[in-house]
Every structure is written in C-alpha cells, then in structure tokens.
Structure 1
C-alpha cells in the first residue's frame, strides 16, 4: 500500500478547552499541531489540516488547510469528506490535533490490518476503548460518506461500526491515544 495522505483533524470548537483552538494550545512548550505533525510526517506521503478557524495560521505551517464544506461544525467526518473533495482517490490516515503522543507505527499497523482484509477502514483500539479518530480509510469510502452526511451529522464511532471497519489492537501503547481535551489535561 502506498503511503497515505495524512489528515490532522483540527476543526472542532474546543468547547472543553474554553473555546480555544486546540491546535494552537501549547503543551510542553510547543503548539499541539506542531507535535502531531512531527509524529505524523514520517508516516505519510503528505499532510492536510482540517480546520474551521485560524486557517491562515495553519496554512503558515506549509500544509493545505481545508475548512468543512458543511455549516455548524458537523464533526470530524465532515473534515474527512472535505479532504476527499480536495484530494480524491487518496487513502487517508486521520489523527486528531490533540494527541501529541501519536504512535510512530500507526500507519504501518493500520495499513497491515487493512491490507489483510476487505474492510473499508481500520481504526485503533487502545486496549480500553475504540479510538475512531485514529483511522486509515480507503478512498472508495468517499461516496458513502457524502451520502451518509447528507442525512445529517454522524457519530464517528457508530459510522465506522456501520461501514464494517476493522479494529486494530494498540493495547501495547495506550499512551499514544491520550487526547488533551481540557486545560487540566495539559498539566503533566
């Protein structure tokens, strides 16, 4: 399988972070988005960022920044759909912007699982719960996603279950999936 296109999902409203754009929140002296990109870059062919605010600031990092094409922050699946509209035919490796400890072998392990089955996507499981924003998606999902989004907002985990995504065990590195969602999470 060719290296996928990396998609950093940074389009949320940051409600639990007091409305701050999580990508630009500093953790250990650097913005989260920079830390995620640093870990993602060796695993992918190129990177795009899905964001709805601070677009110029994200673009200054040297990557395309794509806003949702649907109004009212309909969720990460809208960011995935916007990416496929911009880059059709690409396999996508999706990661959230608030996970600075991203597994260095995320693409390899998800790719190995996807390559050995007919599932349309592979998603991570950290040993305790499903981590659907850490996903590798085949490009033939693009049309299905557009159709499903046309019926309204979708819950990410449920959508992946409905399409028959394969689940990949990452219980050997649960820290790679820690999301920094609140100001309290940044301490430590």
Structure 2
C-alpha cells in the first residue's frame, strides 16, 4: 500500500511477561493519579497519526486504554522484537512508512520524541534513543521496509536481541539530556516504581 503522506504510526510494546515486577502488566501500575500506560498514551497520542498497543493474552484487561491491540504473530514470547515485527507488518498493510515504538514502562517520555527521531533519521533509516550514555533499544523509529530483515533475524536466525538488529541496520543514535531527570527511565521492578513515584513528587510536570 502507498504510504499515507508523512503519517507515522506509534506502537507501545507491552507484550512481555514482566517477571521482575512479579508478573502481570507493569504498565498498569499506579503512578500518581494514573497508570504508567495512561501516561504513555497521553504523551504519545498527539505525536502520531495512529497509536497501537502490542500485548498478548486477554485484551479485555487493557480495554480502558481505548487502543487497538496487536498481538505477537510469533509464538512463545520471543521478546520485544516480535512486537516490533507485529507493528511493522500492520503498518505496511495500513500504509505507514515508519513506526515509532516505545516501551510500556517509561512514564516520562518526551513530548517531542517522534519529531526528534524523525528529524535525525531524515528518512534514511532507523533511529534509537540514548540518554545518560545508555541506549534504549525499545524507544526507536523503525522504517517499515525493515520488516523482512527483522522477520529473517527472528525466524531463521533466532536472533532476539534488539541491540544486535539496531547495530546491523545502522540505526542513528539520538541523544537526550538527563537533567533534571532521565525521560527514558524504566519501571522494571518495585524499586523502579518507587523511584518513579519519588521523581513525580519532585517534578509534577514530568
């Protein structure tokens, strides 16, 4: 399908098992008056033409978010790359040329994330975020044309490391400041959730 002009699709990756949080959906953890996912949806929706959620299992538990859900198309929870692939496949069918993916556990995402990733990539390839010297492989812009290369890596090579694919495809690194706080901090475990709550108390505008 012909791409929809300059339109871009957004995808929140929530297809994992959240083992470090004790299972369940870590994105549904409360942070202030909202859940982590509520905050991510509110931050991402204005930045994209269409926003989807990659999740597995019963979709009813996530119905309140009001997002269409894309499940992994590969079995056995092979990791975030399977969610990216599901998003790229859907984007290709819907006519999008690019997808910005973000994790479900980063409640302080920048309001200009999409614009900066696209600006740095310049339509030439993918882009991935860096903050505090650390790469955040699940916060990235993916060109839809990479979906076949990604499928080959997952299915034929059993390559599940996001970092490996990003290096292989020459993703451009986009660096973000971490003052007064790191906008890409992840809530992976109860300690991380406590840190996020403390940050929000100190920086209500975060």
Same fold (TM over 0.5): yes
Match of 1:99 in 2: 106
* In 1: Cα distance, 2:162 partner to 2:99 partner: 15
* Cα offset, 1:79, TM superposition: 0.4
Are residues 1:16 and 2:23 paired? no
What's 1:136 paired with? 141
Secondary structure at the residue paired with 1:99? Answer: coil
How far the C-alpha of 1:87 sits from its partner, in A, is: 2.6
Kindly report which structure 2 residues correspond to 1:15-164, keeping only aligned pairs within 5 A, or say none: 15-88=19-92, 89-90=95-96, 91-115=98-122, 118=124, 120-150=125-155, 151-164=157-170
Shift of 1:182: 0.6
Tell me how far apart the structure 2 counterparts of residues 86 and 164 of structure 1 sit (CA, whole Å): 23
- Comparing 149-158 and 134-143, the one that deviates more: 149-158
List per-residue Cα deviations over 1:103-135 (Å, max 9, x = no partner): 1111011010111x63x2000110321111110
Q: In structure 2, what is the equivalent of residue 6 of structure 1?
A: 10
d(CA) in 2 for partners of 1:167, 1:61: 30
User: Would you say how many aligned residue pairs link Structure 1 and Structure 2?
Assistant: 186
TM-score, structure 2 normalization: 0.84
Structure 2: runs of 5 or more not aligned = 199-206
Q: What is the alpha-carbon distance in structure 1 between the residues aligned to residue 185 and residue 58 of structure 2? A: 24
2:72 and 2:145 map into 1 onto residues whose CA distance is 20
Q: Is the 8 A contact 2:103 2:139 kept in 1?
A: yes
Query: Alignment partner of 1:164: what SS?
Result: coil
79-88 vs 156-165, greater mean Cα deviation: 79-88
How many angstroms apart in 2 are the aligned matches of 1:60 and 1:143? 33
| CA RMSD, Structure 1 to Structure 2 (Å) | 1.7
- In structure 1, stretches of 5+ residues that fail to align are none
